[in-house]
Structure 1
Amino acid sequence: MITLSVDSTSSSYAAGQSLGALLVTGAVMALIWRVTRSWRQAGPAHPPTSEAATAAARAKRRRIVLGVLALVAAAGCFKAVSVHNPEPRAAEAGADDSVGASAVPERTVAPPNRLRHHRLMAREETAVVDAALAQRGPERQSDAKRWYYGSEATGVSALLSVHTVEDDPELAAEKQRDSFTQEFRNFFAGARARDTAFFDAGPLRGRLGCGHVDTPTGEAAVCAWSDAYTSGHVLLTDTRDLEEAAQITREFRAATDRRAE
């Protein structure tokens, strides 16, 4: 899978943003203090005057500068706090409430034999198109469970691909490291998707996004879903309507990822 170099939703990135805001604030405060040095040390504007008057004038100017510095410091701290807003990792944001940390819910991951007009094809029916269509999804295909839907007459109408943390330790590590936002950035970049949009993920927790991609047979819709335990996607060659594709993907997800009651 293509991985973008910077995860702008991570805690380390947010901490860096906050630190940057504090450093800028400190630099501005130091500059103000340095620039106002001669003004703070000068005497009253209309000499001659007594030493007491000079000291009072300097103290007043010092208080003015300190007040300005306090305002700058407050603004800098507010900025540092406001930018520190990391997104939870996928392993946390997409976890079931009834499942403990780092645990996986009891479930069965298996494709439905039929969903709407999509019929599960036998492996021998898909030997020719397997290599071509597999290139449109994530690179780590060897760890994915992948099924094709369609018929010999109409060809492939849907490709269902599912990664699970049970079968893929690398995926489990990614979900501990990446947020949903970063996962979808990587997926859409790898699939070279355009017109991307997000939709309701359905009854299971997580996130669902769709977009358009080019395939050897023309433009198609691709939808991906992610939760703490699964990353899956559906490629639909017979629809370009993303809302319809999202609904079909929700149905595929519910029929494939069957959680124990």
Structure 2
Amino acid sequence: MLLAIDTHSTAYLQGRVFGLAVVLAVGVILVWVFTRKWRNPVARMPEDLPRVTALRKKRQALLALAMVLVCALYATKFVLDLRNEDPYGAAAETGPTNRTVDAPDAVAGYHLITDEAAARFAAEKSSATSERFWLYSTTPGGTQPSVMFTASTAAWDPRGAAERSEHSLEWLLVNFFAGAKVEDAQDVDPGPLGGLMRCGHIKSGNLVICRWQDASTGGTVATSDTTDIRQASTLALQFRNAAEH
């Protein structure tokens, strides 16, 4: 059965936010990696050390400010776009609320990034949707994200809960992946918590996005560490089992 894509739905908008957030996160990482030498000039002589140290701090501050401005402009544009859209419809019912989500500190060797940059990134993305965002690194205390994890619950997202009470989980996933620009999403095992889960490749890079939906929650895991759907689905299931209660 073909399902119509509702570009005003919460599921579609969450998918679009998530897809753009992945692109933005990858761009920030690439800029940070390729400007490493520029950000960290080396003093050739001892007497050059004070000048070079000051220059290093200045360049790092300028780059950080530029990244913050780009993220802020993105968030502002998206919020304005949402305000210009017609509402999806009345959301009188919130649906079941028996499950919750808590971001785990560590899952499958990935560790929650808690620095200021990650917190700012999560806040800016969450301002455009009721989905909450977290970044994970492969090393404890690391700052380079390898996994992006998001989730929403009926309590955080009444409009999304209303959609779950009015539409099938299939409809929610179709709209989400349409918004995220993923065309090859396929069903994978949702695990003991039930519902539906799908994974697919995002167009803009070698990244896999997995999304689950059940009667109370929705969640997403994107990873750059593998392009294999099955491996990514296993990782997503580990995140879901650790986060959803």
- TM-score, length-scaled by structure 2: 0.56
Please say if 1:186 is aligned against 2:172.
no
Please say if 1:246 is aligned against 2:230.
no
- 1:167 offset after TM fit, Å? 1.5
1:207 aligned partner: 196
Please say if 1:115 is aligned against 2:115.
no
- Aligned partners of 2:130 and 2:200: how far apart in 1? 23
3-state DSSP of counterpart to 1:244: helix
RMSD: 2.8
Q: Percent identity between the aligned chains?
A: 32
- Aligned partners of 1:4 and 1:111: how far apart in 2? 30
**From 152, 164, 179, the counterpart of 1:163:** 152
- Aligned partners of 2:121 and 2:192: how far apart in 1? 32
**From 187, 198, 209, the counterpart of 1:222:** 209
Q: Give the direction of change, closer, same or farther, for the CA distance of 1:203–1:252 in structure 2 (3 Å limit).
A: same
Q: After superposition, give the CA deviation of every residue in 1:166-192 in whole Å (9 maximum; x if it has no partner).
A: 111101111012112211110110110
Decide whether the 8 Å contact of 2:95 with 2:161 is kept in 1: no
Q: After superposition, give the CA deviation of every residue in 1:24-78 in whole Å (9 maximum; x if it has no partner).
A: xxxxxxxxxxxxxxxxxxxxxxxxxxxxxxxxxxxxxxxxxxxxxxxxxxxxxxx
Larger radius of gyration: 1
3-state DSSP of counterpart to 2:103: coil
- Aligned partners of 1:146 and 1:167: how far apart in 2? 13
3-state DSSP of counterpart to 1:248: helix
2:67 aligned partner: none
- TM-score, length-scaled by structure 1: 0.53
Aligned ranges for residues 94-113 of structure 1 at < 5 Å?
A: 102-105=95-98, 107-113=99-105
Please say if 1:177 is aligned against 2:166.
yes
Decide whether the 8 Å contact of 1:156 with 1:237 is kept in 2: no
